[in-house]
Structure 1
Amino acid sequence: MVAMTIDERPAPVTVRQGLPPCRIRASGAEIRRIADLPASVAAAMDAAAGGVVAEAGQPFHATDIAHRDAPPGVRFLRAYRVRDLWLVWVERGGIAHRYDVLGFRGAPHGMVAAVPTNPGRMGLCAASRRLAAAERG
């Protein structure tokens, strides 16, 4: 058995390859950078993630073995706006590594309210389309 020392930490994962395109009816342009999100949506995303979210394509901590200098455990992938609904795709590291859709709705005074989402096995694009369709409904 080989023990892992503190200097042998796994390297953070860098770029997520092969994220498929997704067309969502009534959405604006696909947003690929956190800097292009409204500040209220970016803040709501950080709050939902439990801390700072890594930028798309940047390193993030994909394992569940965290250390003090680890990069964020959640990484932004992309976002879509459908009317007042924001659909934000993120990748979460850890033993239960997964991809999530975070839904946020504009609220009075610039606040953002979370919209319950659970993509489950349907995938990010299908879950986003379902949420967008419910928004039209």
Structure 2
Amino acid sequence: MIDRNLARGLFLMAISLAFGLTALKYPIGEFSRAGPGLFPAIVSLMLFLIGVATVIRSRFVDKTALTINPKNIGIILGSLIGFAVITLFVNMLAAVVFMVFFSTLAGTSYSWKRNVKISIGLCIMAFVFAKFLGMNLPLY
């Protein structure tokens, strides 16, 4: 039996290493004048530490079997593909709303009120990224 918590921690560590090692190819700079590699390096370091904590925690909690649900995997992949297609042909705000409502079909409970709140929060974050950070996002 593959322990779900152990697999989760190892997966997080592998993803963080992939992004972290790629980030090291860019100049990191200093905290006062950050280079393009600093932010991904810090995020991958934090993700690696979360993965290590998850692996350590998996030794002290009851083992849980790792189950794979192809329906949920398909729903999540469909929501990501739909996000990309809707962003390309309509706009990013509509794509965010679609992704939130469609991806939550993979969960154990569904609440349209919660989905509306999440959609509003993500749309606000997209506006912040576009207006205050100057990112070129196709919001509308």
- The answer to which structure has the higher strand fraction is 1
Q: What's the TM-score once normalised by structure 1's chain length?
A: 0.20
Higher CA-based Rg? 2
TM-score, length-scaled by structure 2: 0.20
